[in-house]
Amino acid sequence: MTVRKKISGIVCLAMCLLMLFPFLAPVSAGAENEIDKLMVKTSASPVALMVVQGLTASTSTTGTYISAYNWYDTGGEVIEGTFGTGDAQIIIELSAQEGYVFSENLSVYLNNEAVEFTVDDTRTKVRLTKVYTPMLWQPTIIKNPKGEKVIEGERAGFTASANYANEYKWTLKGPNGESLSADKITGQFPTCSVRGDGTGNFVLHGIPLEMDGWKVVCTFTGPGGSVTSKGATINVEPKPTPTPDPTPTPTSTPQPTPTPSPSASPEDAKKEDDKTQNEEEEHVHQFSDKWYTNSRYHWHKCSCGQVSDKEEHVFKWETVKKANKKGPGLEKGVCEVCGYETTKEIEYKPTVKDHAGLKIIKIIIVVVIIVIIACIAVFGIQVAKANRYKSKHSRKK
What confidence tens digit (pLDDT) does each residue in 244-293 have? 666 666 665 656 555 555 555 556 555 555 554 554 455 677 778 888 88
Q: How far is CA 198 from the centre of its chain?
A: 30
Centre a 10 Å sphere on the Cβ of residue 96 and count the other Cβ atoms it contains: 23
Contact 279, 297 (CB under 8 A): no
Task: Name the nearest CA neighbour of 290 among 282, 299, 281.
Answer: 299
Query: What are the beta bridge partners of residue 323?
Result: none
- Per-residue pLDDT, 271: 59
Task: Name the nearest CA neighbour of 47 among 71, 74, 68, 69.
Answer: 71
Contact 294, 313 (CB under 8 A): no
Q: Give one word for 213, left, alpha or beta, with left for phi > 0 and alpha for psi -120 to 50.
A: left
Q: What residue spans of the chain are helical by DSSP H? A: 3-24, 185-188, 266-280, 352-396
The whole-number average pLDDT for the span 118-130 is 95
Work out the mean pLDDT of the chain and round it to a whole number: 83
Q: How many residues does the chain have?
A: 397
The whole model's pTM is what?
0.53
Give the pLDDT band of residue 26 (cuts 50, 70, 90): very low
- Per-residue pLDDT, 391: 73
- Per-residue pLDDT, 28: 43
pLDDT > 90: what percent of the chain?
49
Give the pLDDT band of residue 362 (cuts 50, 70, 90): confident
State the greatest distance between any 2 C-alpha atoms of the chain, in Å, as a whole number: 172
Q: Tell me the three-class secondary structure of 279-335, residue by residue.
A: HHCCCCCCECCCCEECCCEEEEEECCCCEEEEEECCEEEEEEECCECCECEEEEEEE
- Per-residue pLDDT, 31: 43
Q: What letter represents residue 311's amino acid?
A: E
Asked if residue 136 has pLDDT above 80, the reply is yes
Q: Is 162 exposed, middle or buried (0-12, 13-18, 19+ CB in 10 A)?
A: buried
Give the pLDDT band of residue 29 (cuts 50, 70, 90): very low
What confidence tens digit (pLDDT) does each residue in 168-208 have? 999 999 999 999 999 999 999 999 999 999 999 999 999 99
Question: Strand pairing of 215-222 and 225-228?
Answer: antiparallel
